[in-house]
Structure 1
Amino acid sequence: MTKKLPVTSQPRQCSRRDFLKLSGLTAFSVGGMMFLTGCGPAAEGTVDDAGSSSDDSTSGSGTLGDGTTLRVGMEAAYAPYNWQVSEASDYTIPIDNVDGAYADGYDVQVAKIIADGLGMEAVAVKLDFSALIDSLNNGQIDIVCAGMSVDPDRAESADFSDSYIDDDIVMITRSDSAYAGATTFADLAGASILGQAATMYDTVIDQIPDVNHMTPAETVPLVVENLSSGTCDIITYSMLSVPKLLETYPDFVELEMDDKFEGSVMPDNAAIAKGQDDVLEQINEIIAGISEDDRQQMWNECMDRQPA
Protein backbone atom coordinates (compact mmCIF):
# COMPACT_ATOMS: atom_id res chain seq x y z
CA MET A 1 0.00 0.00 0.00
CA THR A 2 5.05 -2.94 -1.47
CA LYS A 3 5.27 -2.67 2.29
CA LYS A 4 7.64 -5.56 2.84
CA LEU A 5 9.12 -4.46 6.15
CA PRO A 6 8.00 -2.76 9.39
CA VAL A 7 8.02 0.99 9.56
CA THR A 8 10.96 1.58 11.83
CA SER A 9 14.45 2.94 11.44
CA GLN A 10 15.48 -0.56 10.36
CA PRO A 11 14.60 -2.35 7.12
CA ARG A 12 10.94 -3.20 7.17
CA GLN A 13 9.55 -6.70 7.65
CA CYS A 14 5.91 -6.33 6.72
CA SER A 15 3.58 -3.43 7.13
CA ARG A 16 -0.12 -2.83 6.89
CA ARG A 17 0.07 -3.33 3.12
CA ASP A 18 1.76 -6.72 3.51
CA PHE A 19 -0.90 -7.66 6.05
CA LEU A 20 -3.60 -7.38 3.37
CA LYS A 21 -1.50 -8.14 0.30
CA LEU A 22 -0.10 -11.39 1.62
CA SER A 23 -3.44 -12.49 3.00
CA GLY A 24 -4.57 -13.60 -0.44
CA LEU A 25 -8.13 -12.60 0.33
CA THR A 26 -10.54 -12.44 -2.56
CA ALA A 27 -14.08 -11.60 -1.51
CA PHE A 28 -13.85 -14.15 1.29
CA SER A 29 -16.57 -13.93 3.91
CA VAL A 30 -16.25 -15.31 7.43
CA GLY A 31 -19.33 -15.20 9.58
CA GLY A 32 -20.72 -12.33 7.54
CA MET A 33 -17.54 -10.27 7.73
CA MET A 34 -16.04 -9.55 4.32
CA PHE A 35 -12.29 -9.57 3.86
CA LEU A 36 -10.73 -8.30 0.64
CA THR A 37 -7.60 -8.57 -1.35
CA GLY A 38 -5.02 -5.82 -1.12
CA CYS A 39 -2.26 -4.53 -3.29
CA GLY A 40 -3.27 -6.18 -6.54
CA PRO A 41 -1.56 -5.29 -9.81
CA ALA A 42 -2.67 -2.15 -11.54
CA ALA A 43 -4.72 -2.47 -14.69
CA GLU A 44 -2.72 -3.22 -17.80
CA GLY A 45 -1.21 -0.11 -19.25
CA THR A 46 -1.87 2.13 -16.26
CA VAL A 47 1.76 3.08 -15.80
CA ASP A 48 2.37 3.88 -19.43
CA ASP A 49 -0.93 5.79 -19.71
CA ALA A 50 -0.38 7.92 -16.63
CA GLY A 51 0.28 11.02 -18.65
CA SER A 52 3.26 12.98 -19.81
CA SER A 53 5.85 14.26 -17.42
CA SER A 54 5.50 17.78 -16.18
CA ASP A 55 7.40 19.79 -13.62
CA ASP A 56 5.07 22.59 -12.62
CA SER A 57 5.95 22.75 -8.95
CA THR A 58 8.70 24.98 -7.69
CA SER A 59 10.62 24.73 -4.45
CA GLY A 60 8.90 26.60 -1.67
CA SER A 61 6.33 28.13 -4.02
CA GLY A 62 3.31 27.02 -2.00
CA THR A 63 1.71 25.63 -5.19
CA LEU A 64 1.43 21.92 -5.91
CA GLY A 65 1.38 20.82 -9.54
CA ASP A 66 -0.52 23.26 -11.72
CA GLY A 67 -2.40 24.64 -8.71
CA THR A 68 -5.73 23.48 -10.15
CA THR A 69 -5.82 19.70 -10.56
CA LEU A 70 -4.24 17.55 -7.87
CA ARG A 71 -3.02 14.33 -9.50
CA VAL A 72 -3.09 11.70 -6.76
CA GLY A 73 -1.05 8.53 -7.29
CA MET A 74 -2.48 5.25 -5.98
CA GLU A 75 -3.09 1.65 -7.01
CA ALA A 76 -6.87 1.88 -6.81
CA ALA A 77 -6.63 -1.81 -5.89
CA TYR A 78 -5.99 -1.87 -2.14
CA ALA A 79 -9.27 -1.76 -0.23
CA PRO A 80 -10.12 -0.25 2.18
CA TYR A 81 -7.37 2.30 1.43
CA ASN A 82 -8.16 2.72 -2.26
CA TRP A 83 -10.09 0.83 -4.90
CA GLN A 84 -11.66 1.28 -8.34
CA VAL A 85 -15.39 1.60 -9.09
CA SER A 86 -17.34 2.20 -12.29
CA GLU A 87 -19.77 4.82 -11.01
CA ALA A 88 -19.21 8.26 -9.55
CA SER A 89 -20.48 9.10 -6.06
CA ASP A 90 -19.91 11.66 -3.34
CA TYR A 91 -17.01 9.50 -2.17
CA THR A 92 -15.15 9.10 -5.46
CA ILE A 93 -12.73 10.98 -7.68
CA PRO A 94 -12.15 10.23 -11.38
CA ILE A 95 -9.24 8.00 -12.36
CA ASP A 96 -7.50 10.17 -14.91
CA ASN A 97 -5.80 7.40 -16.85
CA VAL A 98 -8.62 4.81 -16.86
CA ASP A 99 -11.68 5.76 -18.94
CA GLY A 100 -14.97 5.64 -17.06
CA ALA A 101 -13.36 4.63 -13.77
CA TYR A 102 -13.38 6.25 -10.34
CA ALA A 103 -11.42 5.76 -7.13
CA ASP A 104 -12.85 5.38 -3.64
CA GLY A 105 -11.32 4.50 -0.29
CA TYR A 106 -9.75 6.01 2.78
CA ASP A 107 -6.81 7.50 0.87
CA VAL A 108 -9.28 9.06 -1.55
CA GLN A 109 -11.26 10.75 1.22
CA VAL A 110 -8.07 12.26 2.65
CA ALA A 111 -6.86 13.28 -0.82
CA LYS A 112 -10.15 15.11 -1.37
CA ILE A 113 -9.71 16.95 1.93
CA ILE A 114 -6.12 17.89 1.02
CA ALA A 115 -7.17 19.04 -2.46
CA ASP A 116 -9.99 21.14 -1.04
CA GLY A 117 -7.63 22.72 1.48
CA LEU A 118 -5.26 23.62 -1.34
CA GLY A 119 -8.07 24.99 -3.51
CA MET A 120 -7.67 22.18 -6.04
CA GLU A 121 -9.70 19.33 -7.53
CA ALA A 122 -8.38 15.81 -6.98
CA VAL A 123 -8.09 13.16 -9.67
CA ALA A 124 -6.54 9.74 -9.23
CA VAL A 125 -3.75 8.34 -11.36
CA LYS A 126 -3.67 4.55 -11.22
CA LEU A 127 -0.16 3.13 -10.97
CA ASP A 128 1.69 0.12 -9.66
CA PHE A 129 2.67 0.75 -6.06
CA SER A 130 6.35 0.30 -6.90
CA ALA A 131 6.11 3.08 -9.52
CA LEU A 132 4.59 5.75 -7.28
CA ILE A 133 7.72 7.48 -5.99
CA ASP A 134 9.36 7.53 -9.44
CA SER A 135 6.13 8.88 -10.95
CA LEU A 136 6.07 11.57 -8.27
CA ASN A 137 9.60 12.64 -9.11
CA ASN A 138 9.15 12.61 -12.88
CA GLY A 139 6.05 14.78 -12.64
CA GLN A 140 3.36 12.27 -13.61
CA ILE A 141 1.63 12.82 -10.27
CA ASP A 142 1.64 15.58 -7.66
CA ILE A 143 1.08 13.58 -4.49
CA VAL A 144 0.95 9.98 -3.29
CA CYS A 145 -1.97 8.89 -1.11
CA ALA A 146 -1.80 5.13 -1.32
CA GLY A 147 -1.54 3.47 2.07
CA MET A 148 2.16 4.29 1.99
CA SER A 149 4.23 4.51 5.16
CA VAL A 150 7.35 6.64 5.41
CA ASP A 151 10.56 4.72 5.94
CA PRO A 152 14.22 5.78 5.71
CA ASP A 153 14.63 4.63 2.11
CA ARG A 154 11.52 6.41 0.86
CA ALA A 155 12.39 9.54 2.83
CA GLU A 156 15.53 9.87 0.71
CA SER A 157 13.42 10.15 -2.45
CA ALA A 158 10.35 12.14 -1.37
CA ASP A 159 9.02 14.32 1.43
CA PHE A 160 6.32 12.78 3.60
CA SER A 161 3.45 14.37 5.45
CA ASP A 162 2.41 13.67 8.98
CA SER A 163 0.34 10.51 9.26
CA TYR A 164 -3.35 10.76 8.45
CA ILE A 165 -4.16 7.48 10.17
CA ASP A 166 -2.13 5.04 12.24
CA ASP A 167 -2.73 1.34 12.48
CA ASP A 168 -1.23 -0.92 15.13
CA ILE A 169 -1.28 -4.55 16.18
CA VAL A 170 -3.58 -5.65 18.99
CA MET A 171 -4.64 -9.02 20.34
CA ILE A 172 -8.09 -10.59 20.28
CA THR A 173 -9.46 -13.49 22.30
CA ARG A 174 -12.86 -14.96 23.11
CA SER A 175 -14.83 -13.46 25.97
CA ASP A 176 -14.90 -16.82 27.77
CA SER A 177 -11.12 -17.30 27.46
CA ALA A 178 -8.92 -17.66 30.52
CA TYR A 179 -6.83 -14.87 29.00
CA ALA A 180 -9.67 -12.35 28.52
CA GLY A 181 -8.51 -10.30 31.50
CA ALA A 182 -4.82 -10.28 30.62
CA THR A 183 -3.06 -6.92 30.77
CA THR A 184 0.62 -7.91 30.57
CA PHE A 185 2.65 -10.27 28.43
CA ALA A 186 3.34 -12.31 31.56
CA ASP A 187 -0.40 -12.92 31.92
CA LEU A 188 -0.35 -14.68 28.54
CA ALA A 189 2.05 -17.45 29.62
CA GLY A 190 0.95 -20.75 28.13
CA ALA A 191 -1.42 -19.20 25.59
CA SER A 192 -1.51 -20.42 21.99
CA ILE A 193 -1.22 -17.30 19.83
CA LEU A 194 -1.77 -17.15 16.08
CA GLY A 195 -0.87 -14.55 13.45
CA GLN A 196 -0.82 -14.27 9.68
CA ALA A 197 2.06 -15.84 7.76
CA ALA A 198 4.86 -13.65 6.37
CA THR A 199 3.64 -10.53 8.15
CA MET A 200 4.46 -8.52 11.23
CA TYR A 201 1.24 -9.92 12.72
CA ASP A 202 3.13 -13.18 13.09
CA THR A 203 6.64 -11.98 13.95
CA VAL A 204 5.56 -9.73 16.85
CA ILE A 205 4.42 -12.82 18.73
CA ASP A 206 8.09 -13.54 19.41
CA GLN A 207 8.07 -10.51 21.72
CA ILE A 208 5.82 -12.41 24.16
CA PRO A 209 7.68 -14.85 26.42
CA ASP A 210 6.48 -18.32 27.39
CA VAL A 211 3.67 -18.66 24.84
CA ASN A 212 2.92 -21.21 22.14
CA HIS A 213 3.72 -19.30 18.93
CA MET A 214 1.56 -21.28 16.54
CA THR A 215 2.38 -21.94 12.90
CA PRO A 216 0.86 -18.88 11.22
CA ALA A 217 -2.26 -19.04 9.06
CA GLU A 218 -1.97 -17.95 5.45
CA THR A 219 -4.92 -15.54 5.41
CA VAL A 220 -6.77 -13.26 7.79
CA PRO A 221 -10.05 -15.23 7.51
CA LEU A 222 -8.18 -18.36 8.53
CA VAL A 223 -6.71 -16.54 11.53
CA VAL A 224 -10.20 -15.46 12.57
CA GLU A 225 -11.65 -18.92 11.95
CA ASN A 226 -9.04 -20.51 14.21
CA LEU A 227 -10.01 -18.22 17.08
CA SER A 228 -13.70 -18.78 16.48
CA SER A 229 -13.28 -22.57 16.46
CA GLY A 230 -11.06 -22.60 19.56
CA THR A 231 -7.96 -23.86 17.74
CA CYS A 232 -6.00 -20.98 19.29
CA ASP A 233 -6.42 -18.82 22.37
CA ILE A 234 -5.44 -15.43 20.95
CA ILE A 235 -4.87 -13.84 17.55
CA THR A 236 -3.01 -10.70 16.51
CA TYR A 237 -5.10 -8.23 14.51
CA SER A 238 -5.31 -4.77 12.93
CA MET A 239 -6.29 -2.16 15.51
CA LEU A 240 -8.29 -0.13 12.99
CA SER A 241 -10.32 -3.16 11.95
CA VAL A 242 -11.23 -4.26 15.48
CA PRO A 243 -14.60 -2.45 15.69
CA LYS A 244 -15.93 -4.29 12.63
CA LEU A 245 -14.52 -7.60 13.85
CA LEU A 246 -16.20 -7.27 17.25
CA GLU A 247 -19.43 -6.23 15.59
CA THR A 248 -19.36 -9.44 13.55
CA TYR A 249 -18.10 -11.63 16.40
CA PRO A 250 -19.72 -10.41 19.64
CA ASP A 251 -18.04 -13.25 21.56
CA PHE A 252 -14.60 -11.79 20.75
CA VAL A 253 -12.90 -9.19 22.95
CA GLU A 254 -9.81 -7.06 22.52
CA LEU A 255 -7.14 -7.50 25.17
CA GLU A 256 -6.52 -4.24 27.01
CA MET A 257 -2.78 -4.58 27.32
CA ASP A 258 -0.40 -2.45 29.36
CA ASP A 259 2.49 -4.11 27.51
CA LYS A 260 2.76 -3.02 23.87
CA PHE A 261 4.49 -4.51 20.87
CA GLU A 262 7.63 -2.70 19.75
CA GLY A 263 7.83 -1.32 16.21
CA SER A 264 4.25 -2.22 15.34
CA VAL A 265 2.73 1.21 14.60
CA MET A 266 2.04 1.62 10.87
CA PRO A 267 1.35 5.21 9.72
CA ASP A 268 -0.32 6.30 6.49
CA ASN A 269 1.59 9.24 5.01
CA ALA A 270 1.16 11.36 1.89
CA ALA A 271 4.26 11.98 -0.21
CA ILE A 272 5.27 14.88 -2.44
CA ALA A 273 8.42 15.63 -4.40
CA LYS A 274 11.24 17.16 -2.41
CA GLY A 275 11.83 20.89 -2.27
CA GLN A 276 8.24 21.98 -1.61
CA ASP A 277 8.44 22.88 2.04
CA ASP A 278 5.63 25.45 1.93
CA VAL A 279 3.26 22.93 0.37
CA LEU A 280 4.24 20.24 2.87
CA GLU A 281 3.48 22.64 5.71
CA GLN A 282 0.06 23.37 4.22
CA ILE A 283 -0.67 19.67 3.82
CA ASN A 284 0.30 18.97 7.41
CA GLU A 285 -1.97 21.75 8.61
CA ILE A 286 -4.84 20.25 6.62
CA ILE A 287 -4.17 16.78 8.01
CA ALA A 288 -3.97 18.15 11.56
CA GLY A 289 -7.48 19.52 11.05
CA ILE A 290 -8.92 16.01 10.61
CA SER A 291 -9.99 14.88 14.07
CA GLU A 292 -9.33 11.39 15.37
CA ASP A 293 -13.07 10.75 15.46
CA ASP A 294 -13.40 11.78 11.82
CA ARG A 295 -10.49 9.55 10.83
CA GLN A 296 -12.06 6.53 12.51
CA GLN A 297 -15.47 7.32 11.04
CA MET A 298 -14.03 7.60 7.53
CA TRP A 299 -12.22 4.30 8.07
CA ASN A 300 -15.37 2.55 9.29
CA GLU A 301 -17.38 3.88 6.36
CA CYS A 302 -14.75 2.67 3.92
CA MET A 303 -14.78 -0.74 5.55
CA ASP A 304 -18.56 -0.83 4.99
CA ARG A 305 -18.31 0.49 1.43
CA GLN A 306 -15.37 -1.51 0.09
CA PRO A 307 -16.18 -3.87 -2.79
CA ALA A 308 -17.23 -7.45 -2.15
Structure 2
Amino acid sequence: MKNMKKIAVSALIMVMVFSFAACGQKQSAYKVAMEPTFPPFDTTDSKTGELTGFDVDMMEAIAADQGFKLEWTNLSFGGLIPALQSGNIDIIASGMNASEDRRKQVDFSDTYYDSGLVVAVKAGNKTIKGIKDLTPDMKVGGQIGTTGADKCNELKKAGKIKEAKIYDGLDVAMMDLQNGTIDALINDLPVTKAYMTAKPGTVEIVGDVLNAESYGIAVKKGNKELLDKINTGMKHIKENGTFDKLYSKWFD
Protein backbone atom coordinates (compact mmCIF):
# COMPACT_ATOMS: atom_id res chain seq x y z
CA MET A 1 0.00 0.00 0.00
CA LYS A 2 2.85 2.33 0.92
CA ASN A 3 4.52 1.56 -2.40
CA MET A 4 1.32 2.43 -4.27
CA LYS A 5 1.14 5.77 -2.45
CA LYS A 6 4.77 6.48 -3.31
CA ILE A 7 4.08 5.72 -6.99
CA ALA A 8 0.99 7.95 -6.98
CA VAL A 9 2.89 10.83 -5.35
CA SER A 10 5.79 10.41 -7.79
CA ALA A 11 3.37 10.45 -10.73
CA LEU A 12 1.71 13.60 -9.40
CA ILE A 13 5.09 15.30 -9.01
CA MET A 14 6.04 14.37 -12.58
CA VAL A 15 2.76 15.80 -13.91
CA MET A 16 3.40 19.04 -12.01
CA VAL A 17 6.98 19.27 -13.31
CA PHE A 18 5.87 18.81 -16.90
CA SER A 19 3.04 21.32 -16.42
CA PHE A 20 5.44 23.95 -15.08
CA ALA A 21 7.87 23.21 -17.89
CA ALA A 22 5.13 23.65 -20.47
CA CYS A 23 4.15 26.96 -18.90
CA GLY A 24 7.76 28.05 -18.95
CA GLN A 25 7.96 27.33 -22.68
CA LYS A 26 4.87 29.39 -23.50
CA GLN A 27 5.74 32.41 -25.67
CA SER A 28 5.14 35.88 -24.32
CA ALA A 29 2.52 37.93 -26.18
CA TYR A 30 2.78 41.70 -26.58
CA LYS A 31 0.03 44.06 -27.63
CA VAL A 32 1.19 46.20 -30.54
CA ALA A 33 -0.80 49.05 -32.09
CA MET A 34 -0.80 51.06 -35.30
CA GLU A 35 -2.92 53.62 -37.14
CA PRO A 36 -3.56 51.84 -40.46
CA THR A 37 -3.95 54.70 -42.96
CA PHE A 38 -0.24 55.22 -43.50
CA PRO A 39 0.77 52.95 -46.39
CA PRO A 40 3.10 51.29 -47.14
CA PHE A 41 4.05 51.22 -43.46
CA ASP A 42 0.59 50.69 -41.97
CA THR A 43 -2.54 49.77 -43.86
CA THR A 44 -5.44 47.30 -44.06
CA ASP A 45 -5.68 44.34 -46.41
CA SER A 46 -8.64 45.09 -48.70
CA LYS A 47 -9.56 41.40 -48.97
CA THR A 48 -9.13 40.18 -45.40
CA GLY A 49 -9.56 43.39 -43.43
CA GLU A 50 -6.45 42.53 -41.42
CA LEU A 51 -3.72 45.01 -40.51
CA THR A 52 -0.76 44.82 -42.87
CA GLY A 53 2.19 46.82 -44.17
CA PHE A 54 5.94 47.08 -43.74
CA ASP A 55 5.67 47.69 -39.99
CA VAL A 56 3.57 44.55 -39.52
CA ASP A 57 5.95 42.33 -41.48
CA MET A 58 9.01 43.83 -39.79
CA MET A 59 7.62 43.43 -36.27
CA GLU A 60 6.46 39.87 -36.97
CA ALA A 61 9.97 39.03 -38.19
CA ILE A 62 11.49 40.56 -35.04
CA ALA A 63 9.01 38.67 -32.86
CA ALA A 64 9.81 35.37 -34.59
CA ASP A 65 13.54 35.99 -34.13
CA GLN A 66 13.12 36.77 -30.43
CA GLY A 67 10.52 34.12 -29.62
CA PHE A 68 7.49 36.18 -28.70
CA LYS A 69 4.05 36.68 -30.21
CA LEU A 70 2.16 39.83 -31.17
CA GLU A 71 -1.46 40.85 -30.75
CA TRP A 72 -2.25 43.66 -33.20
CA THR A 73 -4.77 46.43 -32.65
CA ASN A 74 -5.92 49.53 -34.52
CA LEU A 75 -5.83 52.93 -32.78
CA SER A 76 -5.96 56.56 -33.86
CA PHE A 77 -2.47 58.03 -34.24
CA GLY A 78 -3.12 60.56 -31.50
CA GLY A 79 -4.13 57.77 -29.13
CA LEU A 80 -1.03 55.61 -29.56
CA ILE A 81 1.31 57.22 -27.03
CA PRO A 82 -1.39 57.63 -24.32
CA ALA A 83 -2.30 53.94 -24.77
CA LEU A 84 1.35 52.97 -24.37
CA GLN A 85 1.83 55.14 -21.31
CA SER A 86 -1.30 53.73 -19.64
CA GLY A 87 -0.23 50.14 -20.27
CA ASN A 88 -3.09 49.27 -22.64
CA ILE A 89 -0.53 48.37 -25.30
CA ASP A 90 3.13 47.33 -25.14
CA ILE A 91 4.48 48.47 -28.53
CA ILE A 92 3.81 51.15 -31.12
CA ALA A 93 4.74 50.14 -34.68
CA SER A 94 3.19 52.86 -36.78
CA GLY A 95 5.69 54.77 -38.88
CA MET A 96 6.36 57.03 -35.91
CA ASN A 97 9.03 59.71 -36.04
CA ALA A 98 11.42 59.20 -33.13
CA SER A 99 11.58 62.93 -32.42
CA GLU A 100 13.18 64.53 -29.37
CA ASP A 101 9.75 65.55 -28.04
CA ARG A 102 8.43 62.00 -28.31
CA ARG A 103 11.59 60.59 -26.70
CA LYS A 104 10.57 62.49 -23.56
CA GLN A 105 7.35 60.43 -23.47
CA VAL A 106 8.39 56.97 -24.69
CA ASP A 107 11.53 54.94 -25.44
CA PHE A 108 12.40 54.23 -29.07
CA SER A 109 14.21 51.37 -30.72
CA ASP A 110 17.05 51.91 -33.14
CA THR A 111 15.53 53.77 -36.08
CA TYR A 112 14.73 51.77 -39.21
CA TYR A 113 13.67 54.30 -41.87
CA ASP A 114 14.74 57.82 -42.78
CA SER A 115 11.97 59.95 -44.25
CA GLY A 116 11.03 63.59 -44.87
CA LEU A 117 8.00 65.80 -45.44
CA VAL A 118 6.60 66.85 -48.80
CA VAL A 119 3.83 69.12 -50.02
CA ALA A 120 1.14 67.33 -52.03
CA VAL A 121 -1.50 69.01 -54.21
CA LYS A 122 -4.32 67.86 -56.43
CA ALA A 123 -3.00 66.65 -59.77
CA GLY A 124 -2.93 69.49 -62.28
CA ASN A 125 -2.57 72.28 -59.70
CA LYS A 126 -0.39 74.92 -61.34
CA THR A 127 -0.56 77.47 -58.50
CA ILE A 128 1.40 75.65 -55.79
CA LYS A 129 4.90 74.57 -56.82
CA GLY A 130 6.32 74.25 -53.31
CA ILE A 131 5.90 75.30 -49.70
CA LYS A 132 6.82 78.91 -50.56
CA ASP A 133 3.71 79.19 -52.72
CA LEU A 134 1.32 78.61 -49.80
CA THR A 135 -0.56 81.84 -49.07
CA PRO A 136 -2.66 83.32 -46.21
CA ASP A 137 -5.91 82.44 -48.00
CA MET A 138 -5.14 78.69 -48.24
CA LYS A 139 -6.13 75.69 -46.14
CA VAL A 140 -3.44 73.05 -45.60
CA GLY A 141 -3.89 69.58 -44.13
CA GLY A 142 -1.81 67.22 -42.03
CA GLN A 143 -2.35 64.02 -40.02
CA ILE A 144 -2.80 64.30 -36.26
CA GLY A 145 0.27 63.58 -34.17
CA THR A 146 2.69 63.79 -37.10
CA THR A 147 5.40 66.26 -38.03
CA GLY A 148 3.25 67.13 -41.05
CA ALA A 149 0.57 68.40 -38.68
CA ASP A 150 3.24 70.28 -36.71
CA LYS A 151 4.37 71.98 -39.91
CA CYS A 152 0.80 72.97 -40.76
CA ASN A 153 0.30 74.50 -37.31
CA GLU A 154 3.63 76.30 -37.61
CA LEU A 155 2.55 77.85 -40.94
CA LYS A 156 -0.82 78.87 -39.46
CA LYS A 157 0.82 80.46 -36.41
CA ALA A 158 3.17 82.43 -38.69
CA GLY A 159 0.19 83.71 -40.71
CA LYS A 160 1.37 81.97 -43.89
CA ILE A 161 -1.85 79.96 -44.35
CA LYS A 162 -5.50 80.53 -43.43
CA GLU A 163 -6.18 77.22 -41.70
CA ALA A 164 -4.31 74.13 -40.56
CA LYS A 165 -6.80 71.28 -40.98
CA ILE A 166 -5.67 68.26 -38.96
CA TYR A 167 -7.06 64.80 -39.79
CA ASP A 168 -7.31 61.56 -37.82
CA GLY A 169 -6.64 59.49 -40.93
CA LEU A 170 -4.69 60.06 -44.12
CA ASP A 171 -7.40 58.61 -46.36
CA VAL A 172 -9.87 61.39 -45.49
CA ALA A 173 -7.14 64.02 -45.92
CA MET A 174 -6.38 62.75 -49.41
CA MET A 175 -10.07 62.82 -50.33
CA ASP A 176 -10.36 66.42 -49.13
CA LEU A 177 -7.27 67.35 -51.14
CA GLN A 178 -8.85 65.98 -54.29
CA ASN A 179 -12.25 67.62 -53.76
CA GLY A 180 -10.75 71.02 -52.93
CA THR A 181 -11.58 71.19 -49.21
CA ILE A 182 -7.88 71.81 -48.63
CA ASP A 183 -5.37 73.35 -51.01
CA ALA A 184 -2.38 71.25 -50.03
CA LEU A 185 -1.35 68.40 -47.75
CA ILE A 186 1.93 68.13 -45.87
CA ASN A 187 2.84 64.50 -45.34
CA ASP A 188 5.66 61.95 -45.26
CA LEU A 189 7.36 61.29 -48.60
CA PRO A 190 7.08 57.45 -48.80
CA VAL A 191 3.44 57.46 -47.71
CA THR A 192 2.53 60.11 -50.29
CA LYS A 193 4.39 58.18 -52.97
CA ALA A 194 2.55 54.98 -52.02
CA TYR A 195 -0.80 56.77 -52.34
CA MET A 196 0.19 58.14 -55.76
CA THR A 197 1.09 54.62 -56.90
CA ALA A 198 -2.21 53.21 -55.63
CA LYS A 199 -4.28 56.12 -57.00
CA PRO A 200 -2.42 57.39 -60.09
CA GLY A 201 -3.38 60.79 -61.45
CA THR A 202 -5.05 62.01 -58.25
CA VAL A 203 -2.35 63.95 -56.38
CA GLU A 204 1.23 65.02 -57.01
CA ILE A 205 4.26 66.11 -55.00
CA VAL A 206 5.59 69.65 -55.48
CA GLY A 207 8.81 71.30 -54.32
CA ASP A 208 11.67 69.89 -52.30
CA VAL A 209 11.67 67.38 -49.44
CA LEU A 210 11.36 69.24 -46.14
CA ASN A 211 12.81 68.35 -42.72
CA ALA A 212 14.19 64.83 -42.43
CA GLU A 213 12.90 62.40 -39.79
CA SER A 214 13.59 58.84 -38.71
CA TYR A 215 11.04 56.18 -37.71
CA GLY A 216 11.38 53.94 -34.67
CA ILE A 217 9.42 51.35 -32.66
CA ALA A 218 8.17 52.73 -29.34
CA VAL A 219 7.81 51.06 -25.93
CA LYS A 220 6.85 52.42 -22.54
CA LYS A 221 9.49 54.49 -20.76
CA GLY A 222 11.83 52.20 -18.82
CA ASN A 223 10.82 48.94 -20.51
CA LYS A 224 14.43 48.03 -21.27
CA GLU A 225 13.78 44.28 -21.48
CA LEU A 226 11.33 44.65 -24.36
CA LEU A 227 13.37 47.38 -26.04
CA ASP A 228 16.47 45.14 -25.99
CA LYS A 229 14.49 42.32 -27.60
CA ILE A 230 13.27 44.60 -30.38
CA ASN A 231 16.72 46.06 -31.04
CA THR A 232 18.36 42.62 -31.03
CA GLY A 233 15.68 41.20 -33.34
CA MET A 234 16.00 44.17 -35.69
CA LYS A 235 19.78 43.72 -35.78
CA HIS A 236 19.38 40.04 -36.64
CA ILE A 237 16.84 40.53 -39.45
CA LYS A 238 19.07 43.21 -40.97
CA GLU A 239 22.07 40.87 -40.82
CA ASN A 240 20.26 37.84 -42.30
CA GLY A 241 18.66 39.73 -45.19
CA THR A 242 15.05 39.58 -43.99
CA PHE A 243 14.82 43.35 -43.58
CA ASP A 244 15.99 43.97 -47.16
CA LYS A 245 13.48 41.45 -48.52
CA LEU A 246 10.64 43.18 -46.68
CA TYR A 247 11.87 46.57 -47.85
CA SER A 248 11.82 45.38 -51.46
CA LYS A 249 8.33 43.94 -50.98
CA TRP A 250 6.83 47.22 -49.79
CA PHE A 251 8.95 49.96 -51.36
CA ASP A 252 10.37 48.69 -54.68
Q: Is the shorter-chain TM-score for this pair beyond 0.5, marking a shared fold?
A: yes
In the aligned structure 1, how far is the partner of 2:138 from the partner of 2:62? 44
Partner of 1:23: none
How many angstroms does 1:172 deviate by?
A: 0.6
Q: Mark the CA change 1:282 to 1:191 in structure 2 (over 3 Å): closer, same or farther.
A: same
What is the percentage of aligned positions where both structures have the same residue? 13
Partner of 1:295: 247
Is the helix fraction higher in 1 or 2? 2
How many angstroms does 1:297 deviate by?
A: 3.5
Partner of 1:212: 161
Partner of 2:110: 162
Partner of 1:122: 69
What residue identity is the alignment partner of 1:74? V
Partner of 2:36: 79
Alignment of 1:61-80 (within 5 A): 69-75=27-33, 78-79=35-36
How many angstroms does 1:285 deviate by?
A: 0.8
Alignment of 1:1-308 (within 5 A): 69-75=27-33, 78-79=35-36, 81=42, 104-106=51-53, 107-118=55-66, 120=67, 122-124=69-71, 130=82, 132=84, 135=87, 144-147=91-94, 151-155=102-106, 160-165=108-113, 168-179=116-127, 181-182=129-130, 185-188=131-134, 192-196=138-142, 199-200=145-146, 201-208=148-155, 211-214=160-163, 216=165, 220-230=170-180, 232-247=182-197, 248-257=199-208, 260-261=210-211, 265=213, 267-271=215-219, 273-274=223-224, 279=229, 281-286=231-236, 288-289=238-239, 290-291=243-244, 294-295=246-247, 297-298=249-250
Q: Mark the CA change 1:234 to 1:123 in structure 2 (over 3 Å): closer, same or farther.
A: closer
In the aligned structure 1, how far is the partner of 2:227 from the partner of 2:56? 23
Unaligned 5+ segments in structure 2 are: 1-23
Q: Mark the CA change 1:199 to 1:124 in structure 2 (over 3 Å): closer, same or farther.
A: closer
Is the strand fraction higher in 1 or 2? 2
In the aligned structure 1, how far is the partner of 2:32 from the partner of 2:225? 22
In the aligned structure 2, how far is the partner of 1:73 from the partner of 1:231? 37
What residue identity is the alignment partner of 2:195? L
Asked if 2 retains the 8 angstrom alpha-carbon contact of 1:175 and 1:253, the reply is yes
Asked if 1 retains the 8 angstrom alpha-carbon contact of 2:63 and 2:70, the reply is no
How many angstroms does 1:250 deviate by?
A: 0.7
How many angstroms does 1:113 deviate by?
A: 0.9
What residue identity is the alignment partner of 1:172? A
Q: Which has the larger Rg?
A: 2
Q: Helix, strand or coil: the match of 2:224?
A: coil
Unaligned 5+ segments in structure 1 are: 1-65, 88-101, 301-308
Q: Helix, strand or coil: the match of 2:71?
A: strand
Q: Mark the CA change 1:176 to 1:210 in structure 2 (over 3 Å): closer, same or farther.
A: farther
In the aligned structure 2, how far is the partner of 1:146 from the partner of 1:203? 20
In the aligned structure 2, how far is the partner of 1:133 from the partner of 1:232? 33
Asked if 1 retains the 8 angstrom alpha-carbon contact of 2:62 and 2:234, the reply is no
Asked if 2 retains the 8 angstrom alpha-carbon contact of 1:108 and 1:145, the reply is no
Asked if 2 retains the 8 angstrom alpha-carbon contact of 1:73 and 1:125, the reply is yes
How many angstroms does 1:282 deviate by?
A: 1.8
Task: Give me the CA root mean square deviation.
Answer: 4.5
Asked if 2 retains the 8 angstrom alpha-carbon contact of 1:149 and 1:266, the reply is yes
In the aligned structure 1, how far is the partner of 2:27 from the partner of 2:251? 25
In the aligned structure 2, how far is the partner of 1:82 from the partner of 1:251? 19
Q: Helix, strand or coil: the match of 1:177?
A: coil
Q: Mark the CA change 1:176 to 1:284 in structure 2 (over 3 Å): closer, same or farther.
A: same
Q: How high is the TM-score relative to the length of structure 1? A: 0.48
